[in-house]
Amino acid sequence: MNGTDKPLSRPLKIAILTHSVNPRGGVVHALQLAESLQALGHATTLFAPDARGKGLFRRASCDFHPVPGPPHGADVVGMVRQRIEDYLRCFEQPGMARFDIYHAQDSISANALATLTERGVIPGYVRTVHHLDQFDDLRLHAWQERGYRAADRVLCVSHTWQDILWHQHGIRADLVSNGVDILRYTPQPGAGDSALRAALGLVGTPLLLAVGGVEPRKNTLGILRAFLRLRRVYPQAQLVIAGGASVLDHAGYQQQFRAEWEAAGLPEGAVRITGEVADADMPALMRCADALVFPSLKEGFGLVALEAMASGVPVVVSRIAPFTEYLTGECCAWVDPHDPASIAAGVAHALDPAVRSAMIAAARPVCAGFSWMRSAHRHLDLYHDYLACRSPAGPLQEEHHA
């Protein structure tokens, strides 16, 4: 047992719940945390809605329990309600295992756990807030708020959201960390790098990578507008947009993106939208890039920035928190996400050979400071404290959030 792990009479049984089987940042965090807790000897099960039966985006080294349910239409409110009901059915079914810790990583699973707590099915739950969204629909807003207010313990992955929760919502949250797998994400070329480059048509020079699909929070329109400016200096540049499986509806934004893309009159292949990329191919995709362009308007943490840095790829990021918490000007290029000219200038700066080498060197110690195993130990400390505060009849009615 690691010295930072508190002694236990038995391993914990831990249920970690997330909102999707797709490789979004919060889902990756949930899976990596679950696997690390399992490696430390705790019986950990990851739960995720899987209406289409496609399975988790990669094989897990901990138990994985898909949560079945009917496919949903385009209505986000209906989808969220359905997935909450799916979770309720899952945990209320006869023979469902009971856990010491129920840990929700999103609003959907948190609402299910809140209801299960009210019904006396479980004694309480922990909730990690990665970030909060702004919703026009009051039902979505209410679900999001209930998910963290009803929790017995709230966690955050950045000081930024810890401060927001306290100063804007009166919620005290404990800080946990993210990590990066430096054995997977490495600058060393892999056997499949060339094949992936050919399969995806990655022929641009320079090759710019954006991860997260076409959606407002990822500022994909700002990236496109910056790319059009950059093409004046680098006429052979190529923009590759990977990922994008989201539970939210971004159709309007995607239509605007498509309209601006088509109006620009770019040659075929200058912009490529790959959709979801297999998890096994992501390290190779990172290594194919000359820079990661990641000028998000809002992030909970920004795991993909660490993954690119660990892969030896310079990153161009917004000069906003939480990036400013753990990155410095030596390891990244700062930009104003609201100014396409600033984004273009940041990319050009990162492409300068001397700057690029210095960024890659400065990134190594930053990545070394983020370990999934360290994150797991921190979670265990918080789990133990939470369990110690809980009475035999259920969670203590202490005021965590005042």
Topology (CATH level 3) of domain 193-368:
Rossmann fold (3.40.50)
234, pLDDT greater than 90: yes
Topology (CATH level 3) of domain 13-179+371-388:
Rossmann fold (3.40.50)
pLDDT class of 247 with cuts at 50, 70, 90:
low
Whether 63 contacts 45, CB under 8 Å:
yes
Q: Looking at residue 300, what is its pLDDT?
A: 87
- Give the E-state strand segments of 168-265 in sequence order: 174-175, 207-211, 238-242
285-344 confidence digits (pLDDT tens): 999 999 999 999 999 899 999 999 999 999 999 999 999 999 988 999 999 999 999 999
- pTM of the predicted protein model: 0.87
195-213 confidence digits (pLDDT tens): 999 999 999 999 999 999 9
pLDDT class of 402 with cuts at 50, 70, 90:
very low
**Through-space distance between the first and last CA atoms of the chain, rounded to whole angstroms:** 35
23, pLDDT greater than 90: no
CA pair distance 119, 102, nearest whole angstrom: 15
399, pLDDT greater than 50: no
- The pLDDT of 110-129, averaged and rounded, is 97
| H or E element in which residue 259 lies | helix 251-263
- The mean pLDDT value of the chain amounts to 92
401, pLDDT greater than 80: no
What are the start and end residues of each CATH 3.40.50.2000 domain in the chain?
13-179+371-388, 193-368
Q: Looking at residue 149, what is its pLDDT?
A: 98
Of 130, 138, 137, 135, nearest to 110 (Cα)?
A: 130
